Structure 1
Amino acid sequence: MNATEPQHTAAPDALAALKERVGRYGIWSIGLRSEEPGRRAEVNESAAELEELGFGALWLGSNTSAANAAPLLAATRSVTVATSVQNIWQHDATASAAASAELEKSHPGRFLLGLGVGHARLVDGYRRPYGALVEYLDALDAAGLPAERRVVAALGPRTLKLTAERTAGTIPYLVTPEHTASAREILGAAPLLAPELKVILDADPAAARALARERLAPYLGLPNYTNNFLRHGFTEDDFTDGGSDRLVDAVFAWGDDTRLRSRIDAFLEAGADHVALQLIDPSPRDTLPRPAWHHLSTLLT
């Protein structure tokens, strides 16, 4: 590291190693974070299967922590397991750093702490999110968690710049290839850029878009997402009735195998290092869609 470089900046060689570990594709899933004792064996088997299928990272959806990652790390050999995301308002930074350090001891280099600021309407005591995130990163620094072992779900330019300066990169949720291109320009070449992308294995436009709107509608009441869409060319009209076709088609990959691969590739071509793929089907969100994951893996070889 250059002597003039801030000590909380991730070293370029560490960032390159992280990109190599996670590879180009990962799986984003709420089901993998399950804490139900009766599902533990199925979750562990699913994680091991995803590793065998070649996915480089497992992104544990919703508000997750090192405790959710620990069983999956024990059930697998080399795949990266990451939170996507841990809400900074609901998890103490010092305790999070300590939990991360414990996983680093038992599974070196395999746990990644993904952080997010959440949404004002969903979090009690919400205040200026940027300042709160800076304070949280300061606390992680003080507790000894290296920058290369943490990432942030950043959307806006200011937060993207912060992630480039103080973390290993960003894991933006509900974004478009255009956002990815803009994020890469802000981040520079070195930090990890790993957007989440929702995938529907259905080639029927009406059915696919209906399911997409069902899942998209709740997010359209959250300004963090709608403001980001407005920054990238969408209008208020795109947020009505569960989302316009234009918006749905931008943030979901749906269709036959050729179309799906093209939509995934669009994020890589826009500058993503890695795409975190979330399978969407009519089942409950915590379902483990193992046959669909297997099919998806065949598109990525």
Structure 2
Amino acid sequence: MPEGGGKDALVESAAFLAATDRLVVGTGIANIHFRIPTPAEGGARTLAALYPGRFVLGLGVSHAPFVEENMKGTYGKPLATMRTYLDRMNALPPEIEEGARPARVLAALGPNMIELSGELADGAHPYLVTPEQTAATRAILGPDKWVISEQAVAIGGDAEDQLRRAHTHIGFYVPLQNYRNSWLRQGFDESDLVPGGSDRLARALVAMGSPEQAAASVTAHLDAGADHVVVQILGDRPTTDPRPALRELASVLPL
């Protein structure tokens, strides 16, 4: 789950883990500007100790407007900021929750952050990327690190409604420079970075059409080298129940 909605992702993870027996829960992503490194690492280790193999700690540097305007903080160079943060996490003494360490992945879009996710983490969690970018991430990380790509999905309703939901989703991210840079690296251009995103950008990043067509977009990331694909169902509101659409996808994947 994300952390942009005002809830603490680690606390929310603990609630989901406590209420389930098999579910693997990941933070996608926990904002490193929200918490200092030591309790972030300690809290993550506690969840790993309580729920072995069921918690994945996803970390990210967030975006300058969120940090500087909403938090009144300082948004430094993302790569250096993340490296320093991870070094401080790793400095927590090993006897704290000895032997318990969650899998750690980074919200990595650019090549340097992807490389860091292989150096100081267990892999990368790319967001709003094409299967081609998943393949590029795999190529940088090699065969032994995790690639957990996200795929937004808009199914149900007619084609016009699906495209509307895709533009609403993409539109939130278009003003953010980290994503704009990522899309330019992926082969899009400034004409795609209009409010709401161009139709080309929306169709490339959001799986639409029938459940079978959407499932093909999910499997394209797996074929490109992803270990796992996080499916994000786009409804009319952020609180729309995703389970009916997830069941449709599960039936055609098949799961």
**What TM-score, normalized by structure 1, do the two folds share?**
0.76
Structure having the larger proportion of residues in helix: 1
> Is 1:88 the counterpart of 2:41 in the alignment?
no
- Give the direction of change, closer, same or farther, for the CA distance of 1:169–1:147 in structure 2 (3 Å limit): farther
- Give the direction of change, closer, same or farther, for the CA distance of 1:71–1:212 in structure 2 (3 Å limit): same
- Give the direction of change, closer, same or farther, for the CA distance of 1:144–1:182 in structure 2 (3 Å limit): farther
**Alignment deviations for residues 213-236 of structure 1 (CA, whole Å, 9 cap, x no partner):** 111112110010010110111000
> Is 1:288 the counterpart of 2:249 in the alignment?
no
Deviates more, 1:136-145 or 1:234-243: 136-145
Q: Corresponding residue for 2:179?
A: 225
Q: Corresponding residue for 1:62?
A: 3
Q: Is contact 2:3-2:9 (8 Å) kept?
A: no
* Distance of 1:147 and 1:131 partners within structure 2: 23
Give the alignment of 1:111-260 within 5 angstroms. Answer: 111-123=55-67, 124-144=73-93, 149-202=103-156, 204-260=158-214
Q: Is contact 1:147-1:166 (8 Å) kept?
A: no
Partner AA of 1:62 in structure 2 = E
Q: Is contact 1:203-1:254 (8 Å) kept?
A: no
Identity of aligned residues (%): 38
* Distance of 1:299 and 1:221 partners within structure 2: 35
**Alignment deviations for residues 62-109 of structure 1 (CA, whole Å, 9 cap, x no partner):** 344321111111111122111111101111110011111221221112
- Give the direction of change, closer, same or farther, for the CA distance of 1:287–1:203 in structure 2 (3 Å limit): closer
**Alignment deviations for residues 177-221 of structure 1 (CA, whole Å, 9 cap, x no partner):** 111111111111111101111011136332211111111112110
Instruction: Number of aligned residue pairs: give it.
Output: 241
Q: Is contact 2:138-2:226 (8 Å) kept?
A: yes
* Distance of 1:215 and 1:116 partners within structure 2: 20
* Distance of 1:236 and 1:97 partners within structure 2: 39
* Distance of 1:277 and 1:173 partners within structure 2: 11
* Distance of 2:118 and 2:93 partners within structure 1: 18
* Distance of 1:220 and 1:176 partners within structure 2: 16
Q: Is contact 1:114-1:153 (8 Å) kept?
A: yes
* Distance of 1:68 and 1:93 partners within structure 2: 18
**What TM-score, normalized by structure 2, do the two folds share?**
0.89
Which structure is higher in RCO with an 8 Å CA cutoff and minimum separation 6? 1
SS in 2 for 1:242: coil
Tell me how far 1:147 sits from its aligned partner: 7.3
**Alignment deviations for residues 8-46 of structure 1 (CA, whole Å, 9 cap, x no partner):** xxxxxxxxxxxxxxxxxxxxxxxxxxxxxxxxxxxxxxx
> Is 1:268 the counterpart of 2:209 in the alignment?
no
* Distance of 1:287 and 1:75 partners within structure 2: 21
Q: Is contact 1:220-1:242 (8 Å) kept?
A: yes
- Give the direction of change, closer, same or farther, for the CA distance of 1:147–1:72 in structure 2 (3 Å limit): closer
* Distance of 2:60 and 2:37 partners within structure 1: 12
Unaligned residue ranges in structure 2 (runs of 5+): 68-72, 95-99
* Distance of 1:289 and 1:160 partners within structure 2: 30
* Distance of 2:150 and 2:101 partners within structure 1: 21
